[in-house]
Amino acid sequence: MDIAVFDVEDPRFDDALAIRTRVFVEEQDVPMDREVDGLDDEATHFLVTDDEPLATARVRDHDGELKVERVAVLADHRGEGYGAAVMDAVESWGRESGYDEVVLHAQVPVVEFYERLGYDVEGEEFEDAGIPHRTMRKRL
């Protein structure tokens, strides 16, 4: 398993976007204009490969906090550790970049996944792109 960290100019961004499109647009019916939100150019992107691209995430500074977004694993490979691997890479990068905590908006069905990784739920449930979410936070 390899994990690459790059910006939007890197050719691997196309693989990351393809995963996001399959997971969010095709599986979850998120409109493409919501998925490609104009913020990719200010984000750092992560791509997990194991002979092929399997998982992705992006992070960006949001009001001085490291915000994790667009975490996606291809459906056929969920439960194989790729989501945990990309989150571990995100957290390591965050620590090395001087952040002391990360925040994310988790879809309700995967809240337990993030709890297993040490994230705490905060605030009330909210909807984004027609999908219920919870804010979650972890100290690094």
pTM of whole model > 0.75?
Answer: yes
- Residue range 2-139, CATH number: 3.40.630.30
Span 37-71, pLDDT tens digits? 999 999 999 999 999 999 999 999 999 999 999 99
Distances (CA, A) of 6 to 3, 83, 99, 118: 10, 18, 18, 25
Report domain extents, the chain.
2-139
3-state helix, strand, coil in the chain (%, to 5): 35, 40, 25
Average pLDDT, the chain: 97
Q: Report the pLDDT value the prediction gives residue 84, as an integer from 0 to 100.
A: 98
Continuous segment of H or E residues that includes residue 71: strand 65-73
Q: Report the pLDDT value the prediction gives residue 36, as an integer from 0 to 100.
A: 95
Q: Report the pLDDT value the prediction gives residue 1, as an integer from 0 to 100.
A: 96
Continuous segment of H or E residues that includes residue 122: strand 120-128
The Cα 22–Cα 53 span in angstroms is: 12
Could you tell me the two tokens for 69?
Answer: 């977004």
